[in-house]
A and B are shown apart, each in its own frame.
Chain A
Amino acid sequence: MLLFFKKTWWQILIIFLIASSCIGLICYFYFSQPNQPIASIYFKDQLIRTIDLNASKDEIFYVDGEHDRLQITIKDHQIGITHSNCPLQYCVNMGLTNKANMPIVCMYNGIYIIISGESDFDIAI
């Protein structure tokens, strides 16, 4: 206990940051599934389409981005970008999801999908 207080302020801050990061990540991945996930597809700041993922049927549709046309797939109440000609392919590699912990973003085309909805846990968007 004495050793703990002998530490400098930044050493204590490191311990605090790492502890909060671990707790935060656990909460983020385990409590981020909303009960009624709603996917909102945006082109820059413009809302293109809103989809209730619980009520959605399997579907493939296309959205025009800044440079390219993106293929968006809804399957098993999950949504994702399944084809894009962007160089890094981060959006495609994210796969299909219905979790609210992070948006699917294609920076190259200015398209992003945000999943929102009510959850039992406050952290869900």
Chain B
Amino acid sequence: MNNIKKITFLSLLLAIAIILGIVDSYIPTNIPGVKLGLANIIIVMVLYLFSYKEAILINLIRIYISALLRGTIFSMGFLMSLSGGILSLLIMIILKIILKNKGIIFVSIIGAIFHSIGQILIAIIYLDTINILYYLPILILISILTGFIMGLIAYKIVNNKTIIRKVEQINNNK
């Protein structure tokens, strides 16, 4: 019984992350492979409201379920998504520790940059060429802007008093 509220809350966040990820894929950006990263709002939120364990769990389940729903599981797109997701989350966890739970917008920007780097790394391994690195500068430049916007939204949500109270209740209800 101890963690039912927490599991329910995290499940809701996971569902929102999956829906945001699907909505994201339908938002045209004119640049192939570039997405706003709406689901990253939820991952950053979970990382700051709970801990890195929950963030890793939500991120991995989100990537798998999103790929299952799109029918792209174990495809190249899935592997790129997985590598980007894991690398960005690892960097965000390290940065969060360094910044002592502050700098959510900065963490989001760096996370978005490393998401792109993770994707390009997989593309380099798959295509067996470093020529694909030509694509990295534009991805990084766009990642900075999208990471900033998503980080700003996550910052507003994480600092919302109602949400803070709710999370405190969940964490104390053990």
Of the stretches B4-12, B69-77, B165-173, the one at the interface is B69-77
Cβ–Cβ contact B135 & A103, under 8 A: yes
Decide if A110 touches B127 in the complex (CB within 8 Å): yes
In the complex, the answer to whether B75 meets A87 with C-beta atoms within 8 Å is: yes
A-B pairs with CB below 8 Å: how many? 84
A96 within 8 A of B: no
Determine if A2 is an interface residue (Cβ-Cβ < 8 Å).
no
Q: B110-125, CB under 8 A of A: which get 1 and which 0?
A: 0000000000000100
Contacts of B129 in A (CB 8 A): 42, 44-45
Task: Tell yes or no: B105 within 8 A of A by CB.
Answer: yes
Tally of B interface residues using CB under 8 Å:
31
Query: A102, B127: Cβ atoms under 8 Å?
Result: no
Nearest A residue to B99, CB-CB: A10
User: Which residues in A have their C-beta under 8 angstroms from that of B145?
Assistant: 18, 21-22, 25
Q: Which residues of B contact A28 (CB under 8 A)?
A: 137-138, 141
Query: In whole angstroms, how far apart are the Cα atoms of A93 and B34 in the complex?
Result: 12
Query: Main SS of chain B's interface residues?
Result: helix
A25 to B72, CA, bound (A): 31
Contact of A10 among B33, B80, B103 (CB under 8 A): B103
Beyond A17-B144, A112-B131, is A102–B103 a contact (Cβ under 8 Å)? no
Chain A 68-125 residues near chain B, CB threshold 8 A: 87-88, 90-91, 93-94, 101-103, 105, 107-108, 110, 112, 114, 125
Q: Which residue of B lies closest to A107 (CB)?
A: B76
The CA-CA distance from A110 to B127 in the complex, in Å, is 6
Q: Does B106 contact A (CB under 8 A)?
A: yes
Q: Does B163 sit within 8 A of A, measured CB to CB?
A: no
Q: Any chain A CB within 8 A of the CB of B134?
A: yes
CB of A56 closer than 8 Å to a CB of B: no
| Interface presence of A55 (CB below 8 A) | no
Q: A21-B141, A90-B33 are in contact. Are A102 and B99 (CB under 8 A)?
A: no
Q: Quick one: given A21-B141, A87-B72, A90-B32, are A13 and B106 in contact (CB under 8 Å)?
A: yes
Name the residue of chain B whose CB is nearest to the CB of A45.
B129
A88, B106: Cβ atoms under 8 Å?
no
Known interface pairs A87-B75, A87-B77, A108-B76; A103-B105 also in contact (CB < 8 Å)? no
Residue B142, interface by CB 8 Å = yes
Which chain A residue shows the least CB distance to B151? A14
Cβ of B148 and Cβ of A18 under 8 Å apart? yes
Given A45-B129, A102-B31, A107-B123, answer yes or no on A88-B77 (Cβ-Cβ < 8 Å). yes
Per CB-CB distance, the 3 closest pairs between chain A and chain B, nearest first, are A90-B32, A21-B144, A45-B129
B residues at A contact (CB < 8 Å): 31-33, 71-72, 75-77, 80, 99, 102-103, 105-106, 109, 123, 126-129, 131-132, 134-135, 137-138, 141-142, 144-145, 148
